[in-house]
Amino acid sequence: MKLLSSEDWQAYPGKFIALWTDAHYAYALYQPAELVATLLVNGAYPALSHKGAGWFQRLAHDSNGHTAIGATDTRPAIEHFRSSDGTASWPEFSSPSGEGIHQVAVGPIHAAIIEPGHFRFSLRGEEVLKLEARLGYSHKGTLALIRGKSPRLAARFAARVSGDATVAHGIAFAHAAEAALGVTPPERAVYLRAIMAELERLANHGSDIGAIAGDAGFSFLDARFAWHRETLCEAAKAAFGHRLMMDMVIPGGVAGDILLGGMAAILAALLALESELPGLTRVFEDYASLQDRLVGTGIVPPQLAQAYAAGGFTGRASGQNHDARVSPGYAPYEHFGLEVPVEQDGDVAARIRIRLAEIIESIRFIRDMLTNLPDTAIVIAPPSGSGSGVGVAESFRGPVWHWLRIESGTIADVFIADASTLQWPLVEFAATTAILADFPLINKSINASYSGVDL
Amino acid sequence: MVWKTLARHFISHPAPPCKANDAAVAALRQRLAAAGHKKLGRSLAIRHVAAGSCNGCELELRATQNLVYDLTQYGLSFTPSPRHADILLITGVAGGNMLTAVRQAREAMPEPVLVIAVGDCAVDGGVFKGSPAITGGADSILQVDLVVAGCPPAPAQIIEGLLALLEVNDTAPRPVRVPR
Ligand code: SF4
Per residue in A414-435, pLDDT (tens digit) is 999 999 999 999 999 999 998 9
Q: Are residues A362 and A340 in the same domain?
A: no
Q: Are residues A259 and A319 in the same domain?
A: no
**Residue A197 identity:** A
Biggest distance spanned by C-alpha atoms of chain B: 55
A16, β-bridge pairs: A30
In this prediction, residue B172 has a pLDDT band, given cuts at 50, 70 and 90, of very low
Other beta carbons within 10 angstroms of residue A183's beta carbon come to: 17
Q: A316-320 — which CB contacts under 8 Å span 24+ positions?
A: A316/A340, A316/A341, A316/A342, A316/A343, A316/A354, A317/A343, A317/A345, A317/A346, A317/A347, A317/A350, A317/A351, A317/A353, A317/A354, A318/A343, A318/A344, A318/A345, A318/A346, A318/A350, A319/A343, A319/A344, A319/A346
Q: Do the domain assignments include residue A319?
A: yes
Q: Which of 235-254 (A) contact B at CB < 8 A?
A: 237, 243-244, 246
Coil, strand or helix at B111 = coil
| Cβ contacts of B162 on chain A, cutoff 8 Å | none
Closest chain B residue to the Cα of A203, Cα to Cα: B59
- Give A242 Cα–ligand 1 centroid separation in angstroms: 13
**Strand (E) positions, A194-317?**
249-250, 253-254
Q: For residue A271, what are the CA distances in angstroms to A151, A222, A281?
A: 37, 19, 16
3-state secondary structure of A119: strand
List, for chain A, all residue ranges whose pLDDT scores fall below the cut of 70. Answer: none
Contacts of B151 in chain A (CB under 8 A): 246
pLDDT at position A383 is 85
- Quote the pLDDT of residue A224: 94
Mean pLDDT, chain A, as a whole number?
92
Task: Please indicate, yes or no, whether residues A277 and A295 belong to a single structural domain of this protein.
Answer: no
Residue B28: enclosing H or E segment and its boundaries? Answer: helix B22-35
| Assigned domain for A143 exists | no
- Tell me: do A280 and A363 sit in the same domain: yes
Task: Classify residue A60: in a domain, yes or no.
Answer: yes
Give B121 or A81, the one with higher predicted confidence.
Answer: B121
Query: Cα-Cα-Cα-Cα dihedral of A156, B142, B154, A357, to 10°?
Result: -70
Q: Does the Cβ of A160 fall within 6 Å of ligand 1?
A: yes
How close A6 comes to chain B (CA, Å)? 33
The pLDDT confidence band at residue B95, using thresholds 50, 70 and 90, is: confident
Strands A44-46 vs A67-69: parallel, antiparallel or unpaired = parallel
Q: Which residues pair with A30 in a beta bridge?
A: A16, A34
Q: Are residues A372 and A233 in the same domain?
A: yes
CB A250 within 8 A of CB A224: no
Do A263 and A244 share a domain, yes or no? Answer: yes
User: Residue A27 sits in which domain range?
Assistant: 2-69
Cβ distance of B52 and A116 shorter than 8 Å: yes
Question: Are A230 and A334 in the same domain?
Answer: no
Inter-chain contacts counted by CB atoms under 8 A, chains A and B: 149
Same-domain status, A275 and A299: no
User: Domain coordinates of chain B in residue numbers?
Assistant: 42-178
| Shared domain check, A403 and A275 | yes
Q: What is the pLDDT of residue A37?
A: 92
Are A333 and A379 part of one and the same domain?
A: no
Please give the C-alpha separations between residue A256 and each of A160, A185, A249, A380, in angstroms, as whole numbers: 19, 13, 9, 12
Q: A116, B93 in Cβ contact below 8 A?
A: no
Q: What is the pLDDT of residue B162?
A: 86
Whether A269 maps to a domain, the answer reads yes
- Pick among B9, B11, B54, B118 to test the A interface (most A CBs inside 10 A): B54
Q: Which of A19, A46, A69 is the endpoint of a domain?
A: A69
Ligand 1 atom nearest the C-alpha of B151 is: 2
A20 falls within a domain:
yes
**Tell me, what amino acid is at B50?**
A
E strand map for chain B: 44-50, 76-78, 87-91, 114-118, 146-148
Cis omega before residue A108 (within 30°)? yes
- Judge contact between B166 and B75, C-beta under 8 A: yes
Q: Which amino acid is at A117?
A: G
Say whether B49 and A137 touch across the interface (CB within 8 A). Answer: no
**A448 in any annotated domain:** no
Residue A291: burial class (beta carbons within 10 Å; 0-12, 13-18, 19+): middle
| A44 and A63 inside one domain | yes
Share of chain A above pLDDT 70, in %: 100
Q: Looking at the domain assignment, is residue A80 inside a domain?
A: no
Closest to A162 in 3D by CA, of A431, A419, A342, A446: A419
The string of pLDDT tens digits covering residues A24-41 is 999 999 988 899 999 999
Distance from CA of A286 to the nearest CA of B (A): 12
Residue type, B8: R
Name the more confident of B173 and A220. Answer: A220
How many angstroms is it from B54 CA to the middle of ligand 1?
5
pLDDT category of residue B4 using cuts at 50, 70 and 90 = low
Whether residue A317 sits in one domain with residue A213:
no
**Buried (b) or exposed (e) across A10-31, using 16+ Cβ within 10 A?**
bebeebbbbbbbbeebbbbbbb
Q: What is the DSSP string of A378-399?
A: SB-PPPS--EEEEEEEEETTEE
Interface residue of A109, A222, A231, A246 to substitute, partner B, most B CBs within 10 Å: A109
Give the strands of the sheet with A16-21, arranged side by side: A2-3, A34-39, A25-30, A16-21
**Cβ-defined contact of A227 to B5 (cutoff 8 Å):** no
In a domain, A414, yes or no: yes
> Is A352 in contact with A185 (CB distance < 8 Å)?
no
User: Which burial class, exposed, middle or buried, applies to B9 when counting CB atoms under 10 A from its CB (0-12, 13-18, 19+)?
Assistant: middle
Phi and psi at A141, nearest 5°, equal 75, 35
pLDDT tops 80 at residue B6: no
B72 DSSP assignment: G
Q: Ligand 1: which atom is nearest the Cα of residue B92?
A: 5
CATH 3.40.50.12280 matches B42-178? yes
Domain total in chain A: 3
Distance from CA of B132 to the nearest CA of A (A): 7
Give dist(CA B41, CA B45) in Å, integer.
10
pLDDT of residue B78: 93
- Angle at which helix A262-286 crosses helix B2-12, to 10 degrees, equals 160
The 10s digit of each residue's pLDDT in A218-264 is 899 999 999 999 999 999 999 999 999 999 999 999 999 999 999 99
Other CB atoms within a 10 A radius of the CB of residue A429 amount to 19
Contact A72, A81 (CB under 8 A): no
Protein residue closest via CA to atom 6 of ligand 1 = B121
Q: CA dist A368 to A196, A244, A288, A373, A374, Å?
A: 13, 22, 37, 8, 12
Q: Give the tens place of pLDDT for each residue, A152-189.
A: 999 999 999 999 999 999 999 999 999 999 999 999 99
Least Cα separation, residue B91 to chain A (angstroms): 9
